[in-house]
Amino acid sequence: MIRAPGRDIAELFGYSPDDVSRQATQAFQSGTCPFSQRPCSKRDHSSGTVYGVCSVTNGSRSDEHQDVIVCPERLYADDYRVLKLVADEVWADDHDDLVVGGSLDELKAQALSRVNSVVAFGQRSGKEISAGSMSMDWVLQRYRSDRRRLQATDFVGIEVQSIDITGNYRDPWAAYEKLKRGHKVSSIPNSGHGLNWANVHKRLIPQIIRKGNLYSRVQRARGFFFLTPDQVFQRFEDVLGTVPPAEGPSRDTLSIITFDLRGGTGHGTVRALAVKRRLHFKLKDVAMAFVNHVTDDGPSELDSTLLALL
């Protein structure tokens, strides 16, 4: 095992970056995402390099660190299991298998073959839904079928978010590329990436609140889910402070499922994506917390900074 001592790439095309097993090298050479089964979208448009980075570390390997998912496709492991988790939580046993993937005609044909189906609309599955100038990541809509026609009953909205990086991971990637191609590598340089946590309060939380408010005004909506790595939601908690919990999914509730990567990084294996937490909050409480929450040391820090100027 050879890894960078500081910040590092945690997964390349689903495998440990220093994994030189047949499975890992084939995935690297093909440039195909193992979770979407499509060409990886993490491409440098100037050089044409396909990076295939699924997750990175958020600190030095010599200190305590976490592996953070930076590509949303990583959350679609096991044939969109995260979407199936939502369908099972909302409709329990009152639905057949989730229908996901393919054209609108293909989705319709599959739904007609079932009595009570849940159909996923989103990227590469039917069409992406837009409303009120906002694009929805996923909508799961339930249908009743008499084998001849479909009747839409109710639905839930889903937002899926990882976290973007700042800087880049080109240096360790180049070293791992040599390793994957069978060259001898004596050391892996540290990565120059950071994690764009500022996006949590600048973009992600306002976006979640706006979309949640939209769903809350549709009578057929059964809820709104936010699916994200646990480390990302930890930053939500830093911004929001303490929000009172709600009982479960509903039209005016934000439901959160967080995930982390489990298992070792043995060569030839892909780590499991596991549920970390399931949480529910009233949308109005989330909005109020975002507007009103101030950290305990914020006012004194502002005052002392201003007093020290000039």
List pLDDT tens digits, range 234-290: 999 999 999 999 999 999 999 999 999 987 767 888 999 999 999 999 999 999 999
What residues pair up with 102 in beta bridges, in sequence order?
125
In percent, the amount of the chain with pLDDT more than 70 equals 97
Residue 308 DSSP SS3: coil
> Residue 125 pLDDT > 90, yes or no?
yes
> Residue 60 pLDDT > 60, yes or no?
no
Summarised one tens digit per residue, pLDDT across range 161-197 is 999 999 999 999 999 999 999 899 999 999 999 999 9
* In 137-180, alpha helices (H): 170-180
- Of 182, 165, 181, which Cα lies nearest the Cα of 69? 165
Residue 149 DSSP SS3: coil
- Of 273, 276, 278, which Cα lies nearest the Cα of 79? 273
CA angle 267, 8, 270 (to 5 degrees): 30
Does the predicted model carry a pTM greater than 0.85?
yes
* Residue 67 neighbours by CB under 8 Å, 6+ apart: 10, 11, 55, 56, 57, 58, 261
Residue 161 DSSP SS3: coil
H or E stretch including 135? strand 134-135
At residue 62, the pLDDT reads 54
Residue 117 DSSP SS3: strand
3-state secondary structure string, 45-101? CCCCCECCEEEEECCCCCCCCCEEECCHHHHHHHHHHHHHHHHHHHHCCCCCCEECC
> Which token pair is 310?
């000039």
Summarised one tens digit per residue, pLDDT across range 41-54 is 888 777 788 999 99
How far is the C-alpha of 86 from the C-alpha of 137, rounded, in Å?
14
Greatest alpha-carbon span in the chain: 77
Query: What are the Cα distances from residue 200, in Å, to 67, 118, 161, 182?
Result: 18, 31, 10, 40
Between 132 and 202, name the one with better pLDDT: 202
